[in-house]
């Protein structure tokens, strides 16, 4: 028996909202639906849901809330705009290529398309950046016999083939008088 403080609707049980558990719903599916680049039914089928299962899922308030939260996050961070721009660029890519590859395109048009494609593909030559590791130094060590070795933070360890010049100096002893 029900106690008096338990709320009850007057609706028959078969007309009440049903809460269904969908343990197989991944974050990736929620993200794909929120992004909106594909039809929701395509996303659902990719994740193993039938049309009927997805319709039942889409009616669940918790799922709607998850999608809305993710959609808001994407819009706030610019993810939606960037993803749509990338998709549109991909759609136009084939048209641009066909136009550039046709005989009607001038050499300068073809060159511009080529430069754009190289840049988009990340195929531009990279400039080597030289790391500055601080102040430079160099140490030369005379090994004798005309050999010396030089240490430097710029060149590493490298043998020196030149013979160091030694000045013959007359050594005089100075006595205190």
Average pLDDT of the residues in 30-52: 93
Average pLDDT of the residues in 3-19: 59
Q: Is the dihedral of CA 76, 77, 78, 84 positive or negative?
A: negative
pTM above 0.75, yes or no: no
Provide the pLDDT for residue 42: 94
Average pLDDT over all residues of the chain: 79
Where helices occur in 103-164 by DSSP H, the ranges are 107-121
Please tell me which residue, 45 or 24, carries the higher pLDDT value. Answer: 45
CA dihedral 51, 57, 60, 65 (to 10 degrees): -110
């Amino acid at each position: 028996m029900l106690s008096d403080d338990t709320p009850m609707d007057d609706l028959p049980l078969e007309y009440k909202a049903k809460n269904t558990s969908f343990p197989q719903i991944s974050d990736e599916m929620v993200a794909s639906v929120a992004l909106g680049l594909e039809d929701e039914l395509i996303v659902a089928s990719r994740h193993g849901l039938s049309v009927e299962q997805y319709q039942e899922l889409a009616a669940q308030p918790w799922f709607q809330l998850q999608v809305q939260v993710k959609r808001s996050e994407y819009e706030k961070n610019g993810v939606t705009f960037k993803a749509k721009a990338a998709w549109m660029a991909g759609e136009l890519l084939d048209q641009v290529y066909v136009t550039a590859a046709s005989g009607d395109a001038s050499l300068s048009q073809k060159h511009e398309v080529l430069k754009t494609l190289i840049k988009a593909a990340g195929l531009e030559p990279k400039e080597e950046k030289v790391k500055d590791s601080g102040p430079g130094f160099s140490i030369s060590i005379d090994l004798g016999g005309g050999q010396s070795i030089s240490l430097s933070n710029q060149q590493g360890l490298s043998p020196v083939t030149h013979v160091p010049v030694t000045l013959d100096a007359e050594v005089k002893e100075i006595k205190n008088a």
